[in-house]
Structure 1
Amino acid sequence: MSLPLLPDRDCGGCVECCRYIPLDLPELAKPTGQLCHYCVDGSGCAVHAIRPQTCRVWFCLWRAVELSEDWRPDHSGVIIRPDGVERGEITLYVVRPSEFLASEDFFVTVAQWIAEGIQIALSVPGPEGFYPVRSIITDWLRPAIEEGDMADFVERLLAALDKLHEGPFQPDGVTARYAVA
């Protein structure tokens, strides 16, 4: 699914999707958690003009939804995955813990999404070459949100992240292949 992007918002030096999103295409395959061979860390795609169609149309929701600069994945440690939006779900793929998870901006935004009836999923990466694990946590977060208790929200969020880090992680079976020409 490709969403309309916000004008004047680009990835900049963020390459988190180039690292954490698995690809298994005829011309490009990379295991989960491995930086794409064509990606220059902190800069972007070295084959941008001829990159595969999948790379041309996949963007995190930070590029499509009015969110602060703090939400940019390389700043927040959170990739907001677009898959599931059409079903009323948002997946917060926490690729690394950061102070942002305990920020008022994060709390207020997630609370607003839940109030709008959006299901919130949390996801964490596994070891390189393994798919991430994911779980819907809306009902787990709801009591803290309804009470407006940010400390309880953060405690619940961190507990959910700890549980997810236990796995089980499934191998992605992807062998790196780079043939973009």
Structure 2
Amino acid sequence: MSLPLLPDRDCGGCVECCRVIPLNLPELAKPTGELCAYCVDGAGCSVHAIRPQTCRVWFCLWRVVELSDDWRPDRSGVIVRPDGVEDGIITLYVVRPTEFLGGEDFFATVAGWIAEGIEVALSIPGPVGTYPARAVVTDWLRPAVEAGYHPAFVDRVLRSLDRLAEHDFQPDGVTARYAVAS
């Protein structure tokens, strides 16, 4: 899937996707949750000009959708994943819980998506080398959203994350391999 990127918006020092996305390509393999060895934390890809095609075309929705700068994954702790968008599902991959999850911007945006009929899923990482846990939480969040009751919404988000943390995380089976040619 290739979505048009917003002009004048770039990743900057955010490298969250370089950490959480698993890759199993001939020239590059890295387990889920392991920072790519070609990534310079806070700066980006050291082989940017010759990075694999997968890395060239994958962007979080912060690069695509009009969201505030606070939504940038390294600031918010949330990666808005593009997979599922074409099916009407937005997955909020909570890399780490932050104060952003309790903020009005997060509440208003998620409430807006639910009001528009978009399904919302929450996801969290497991240990390095395991697939993340994910659950669609639209119906669970809807009562708080429809009531416009922000504290109940935050409580339901945090309870969902706690429940996801109890997940039986499955290994992704990827062994690190770095062989991008220069």
User: Is residue 56 of structure 1 aligned with residue 56 of structure 2?
Assistant: yes
Deviation at 1:58, TM superposition (A): 0.2
Cα deviation 1:73-121 (Å, max 9, x = unaligned)? 0000000000000000000000000000000000000000011110000
The 5-angstrom pairing of residues 12-161 of structure 1 reads 12-161=12-161
Structure 2: which amino acid aligns with 1:65?
V
Counterpart in 2 of 1:180? 180
Q: Describe the SS at the equivalent of 1:180.
A: coil
- What CA distance in whole angstroms lies between the structure 2 residues aligned with 1:178 and 1:156? 41
Aligned-pair RMSD on alpha carbons?
0.4
Shift >2 Å, 4+ stretches: none
Q: Which runs of 5+ in 2 are unaligned?
A: none
Alpha-carbon displacement from aligned partner over 1:99-150 (angstroms, at most 9, x marks no partner): 0000000000000001111000000000000000100000000000000000
Structure 2 counterpart of 1:163:
163
Distance apart, 1:154 and its partner CA: 0.2
Instruction: Give me the whole-angstrom Cα distance separating, in 1, the residues matched to 2:126 and 2:180.
Output: 27
Cα offsets for 1:133-176 (capped at 9, x unmatched): 10000000000000000000000000000000111211000000
What residue identity is the alignment partner of 2:20? Y
Paired position in structure 2 for 1:5: 5
Q: How far off is 1:10 after superposition? A: 0.2
**What is the TM-score of this pair, normalised by structure 2?**
0.99
Number of equivalences: 181
- Return the TM-score normalized by structure 1: 0.99
SS in 2 for 1:19: helix
Secondary structure at the residue paired with 2:105?
Answer: helix
